[in-house]
Structures are given as C-alpha cells and as structure tokens.
Amino acid sequence: MSDAVQCVECGHALGGPVRNFCPGCGQPATARRIDWTYLAEQVRHGVLNLERGLGYSLRNLLLRPGRLMRDYIEGRRARQVRPLPLLLLGAAAVVLVGRVAAGGDVIGSAVLAGVEMSGNPDPDAVLAAQDSARAVQAWANRHFAAITLLLLPVEALALRVAFHRVGGLNYPEWLVISTFVTVQAFMFWIAGLLLQRWIPGATGWAMSCAIAFQLFSLAQFFAGYPWWKSVLRGALGLCLYTVVQSAITLAAFAVAALVR
C-alpha cells in the first residue's frame, strides 16, 4: 500500500517529513495487507502480549462487529487487540466459566444426548456408544483451546468458499475474520453457560443467537453488497463448516470406540 496523506484511523494529516506512525493516535502510517508474513509476525510478537484495547474490541464485536472487522482488514488497528491473543483469551474465559458454572463441561452433553436418542435397540451397543461419547466429551473439554485453533482454518476455508469472488479477500484475511466471529461466539457461549443454571437449554439458545449474530456481522462487513446474499453465503459457509466439524467428531467417536 502507498503512503497515506491522512491517517486511516483518525484522519490526522501525515504531511511533512516521512512518518512511520501517526502523531495523533500512533497508528502505523502505512497499513500492510494481511498475508502469511503478517500473520507469522502476529504469532511471534503478539501471542503473549495482550495489547490495550480489549474493552474496545469486545464492545464493538457486539455493537458494530462487521465494521470492527472491516477496520482491522483495512488497516485501522491501533485501538484493537490483535485477533489471536483475543481468541486465546476468549477460549480461556469459556473454559474458566465452564468450570465454575458447568462443572467443567464446556461443550455440553450434545454428543451423549445424540447417542441416547439414536434408537439403537441393542442395550450393550448403546452403553458402549455412551462410554465412547463420554470419552470424546471429556477429551474435548480438556483440550478446548487446542480444538478451537485447529478448527479455525476449517471455518476460514468454508467461509472463503461460500464468499467466492466477493470482497477480494485472501485466505489469511478470512482467518482473521473467522477469529473475530469465533470470539463473538465465545461471548454468547459464556452468557449461555452462566444462565443455564436458571434457564434450561440456555447454552443452546445462546449459540443459536451467536450464529444469527455472525450472519449479521458478515452482512455488515460486506456493506454495499446485498445483505440477503451475505446472509445466504454466510449460512452456506457455516453449514459447510458444521459438516466438516461433524465429520471430525464422528471420526473422534470412532477412534474412542476402537481404543476402549
């Protein structure tokens, strides 16, 4: 990107001597496009250093999520927390709240409930399947953050496929967008975990709201593109991601059954 006449963050004039940073807000004078080199630098410099702007990022993920993501993609990043530390912090918060409010069961009993509702007439087979489901559930609860990181590239790829030829975004930029919408889902997840003690099924309702809000965020991100097309493409991307996620869960279920 070429040097800007004005700061993309605050609009402060950058005339005169060559400046590396805006004198008004500290934003870099030239905003790099997000690519593999940029992401590698974020991992190297940003994983252990949570920057200022946590409240700003979380607040705007609820109030103006699509614009927040657009700001980051276009280089207005001075007031925002970097996505990867934000994701790790969000995953840690979900695990902590899950331990306090749900006895450590972060992912819930959806896998076990599916086995119980399978209708298999063989009680021995049902008991064996329940044992495998409990093993998968326990493993997922113990490795929640790692699972989140491993599935993030899958979600990014699914959304990129769904939004093919829309927005001109590369895959690393979709990784950033997927990180933001995942953190957004964590916020709803935490609310559901906190409320489920008083409201049965609160976590499920919260995640349904999270999906709706993710679609809203994508529609806001692609402002100027028909909103209903953004919603449909977003829904397609999330469905593709869910299919792959379900296949991975079934594979884990099969492995757990074999090793028992």
Rounded-to-integer distance, Cα 39 and Cα 176, Å: 9
pLDDT value of residue 112: 46
- φ and ψ at residue 112, rounded to 5 degrees: -65, -40
| CA separation for the pair 80, 55 (Å, rounded) | 9
56-86: b (≥16 Cβ within 10 Å) or e: ebbebbeeebbebbbbbbebbbbbbbbbbbb
Q: Is the pLDDT of residue 258 over 80?
A: no
- Looking at every residue in the chain, the average pLDDT score rounds to 82
**185 vs 17, 37, 154, 188, 207, CA distance in Å?**
44, 27, 16, 5, 7
pLDDT over 50 (residue 171) = yes
pLDDT classification of 116: cutoffs 50, 70, 90? very low
Indicate the domain borders of the chain.
1-31, 44-259
Residue 63: predicted pLDDT: 94
Contacts for 224 with CB less than 8 Å, ≥ 6 apart = none
**pLDDT on residue 110:** 46
Q: Across residues 156-165, what is the average pLDDT? A: 96
Place of tokens 């995953």: 91
- What is the spatial distance between Cα 50 and Cα 93, in angstroms, rounded to a whole number? 14
Residues 112 and 129: beta-carbon distance below 8 Å: no
User: Has residue 218 got a pLDDT over 90?
Assistant: yes
Banded model confidence at residue 46, pLDDT cuts 50, 70, 90: low
pLDDT score of 212 more than 90: yes
Phi, psi at 13, each rounded to 5°: -65, 140
Q: How far apart are CA 174 and CA 222, in angstroms?
A: 13
Report the range out of 37-41, 42-46, 104-108, 183-187 with the highest average pLDDT: 183-187
**Coil vs helix vs strand at 186:** helix
The residue-averaged pLDDT of 55-76 equals 93
Task: Summarize the confidence of residues 80-85 as an average pLDDT.
Answer: 87
What's the full length of the chain, in residues? 260
Per-residue pLDDT, averaged over 182-206, amounts to 90
CA separation for the pair 72, 216 (Å, rounded): 18
